[in-house]
Amino acid sequence: LMAALAGVFVWDGQRIEEEELRRSAQEMKHMENLSSLAQGNSPGEFQPSEWEQPWELIMDKKHFRLWRRPIQGSHLYQYRVFGSYTDVTPRQFFNVQLDTEYRKKWDSLVIKLDVIERDVATGSEVIHWVTHFPYPMYSRDYVYVRRYNVDKENNLMVLVSRAVEHPSVPEDPEYVRVRTYESQMVIRPHKTFDENGFDYLLTYSDNPQTVFPRYCVSWMVSSGMPDFLEKLHSAALKAKKMELEVRDYLAKGP
């Protein structure tokens, strides 16, 4: 409380812990074990575990599949994308996703995207992100903590993000603050981090604070998520082709 009154962000209880990274990696392993998914023979729904809601397949494309499931106690859905790319390296795709400065160039929806604070202990970062929403909705802003991990031993890359409050980023009446947001991206190289080809698993949920019915919000997310992933893929290809300077997050050091 004293820290909050003094305008200081307290990392305890807010940083992304090792257990969250491990859980995301385990989800990827579970998906890989569902061999029927990778072979294109999966049913419309699958049940990851006995105590969870079933996932409903809502989009099946050449390079990815998109599922959703209702979040209990709310009108919202959680979404999951499992896909592959063969023309870009895992390192390029991962770096482009993390580089906030480069994203300002390739993502036309970004109004603001800045690193607010870093945690020396874990490498977690607090990000302030302001983005355009489809007309006639107001732009949204997110304050979230993110942490990534590159597991060279298990050939895996993980990025976990979730919403937090930060005293240096109060609500702006010009934007709608999104207070419920979670995202986990796991990347599995087909070979190495620097050879073309990888699978990825993206699990995502947020509450965009709209008055629209759930089916409208579901349509926006289910159409917007593949569009974002394709823009991310194109940005990685562009960085590779033009040899653009993108920060290498796999390298040691800050």
| pLDDT tens for the 254 residues of the chain, in order | 554 455 789 999 999 999 999 999 999 988 888 745 445 544 445 555 545 678 999 888 888 999 999 988 888 889 999 999 999 999 999 999 999 999 999 999 999 999 999 999 899 999 999 999 877 788 999 999 999 999 999 999 999 999 999 999 999 999 999 999 999 999 999 999 999 999 999 999 998 877 666 666 666 666 778 889 999 999 999 987 766 567 788 775 44
Nearest CA to 198 among 250, 144, 138, 157?
Answer: 157
pLDDT at 168: 94
CB atoms near residue 89 (< 10 Å): 21
Tokens for 202?
């993206």
Contact 205, 181 (CB under 8 A): yes
Superfamily of domain 19-30+54-238: START domain (3.30.530.20)
Interacting residues of 23 by C-beta distance below 8 A, sequence separation 6+: none
Structure token digits, residue 157:
């890359």
Q: Which residues contact 84 (CB under 8 A, 6 or more apart)?
A: 63, 64, 197, 198, 199, 200
What does each C-alpha distance from 47 to 39, 44, 108, 192, 200 come to in angstroms? Answer: 17, 10, 36, 30, 19
Tokens found for residue 144? 């979230």
Distance of CA 203 to the CA centre of its chain: 7
DSSP 17: P
In the prediction, which pLDDT does 83 show? 93
pLDDT confidence of residue 53: 74
State the pTM of this model. 0.86
Q: What pLDDT was estimated at residue 43?
A: 45
Phi, psi (5° rounding) for residue 188?
-120, 110
Q: What is the pLDDT of residue 134?
A: 78
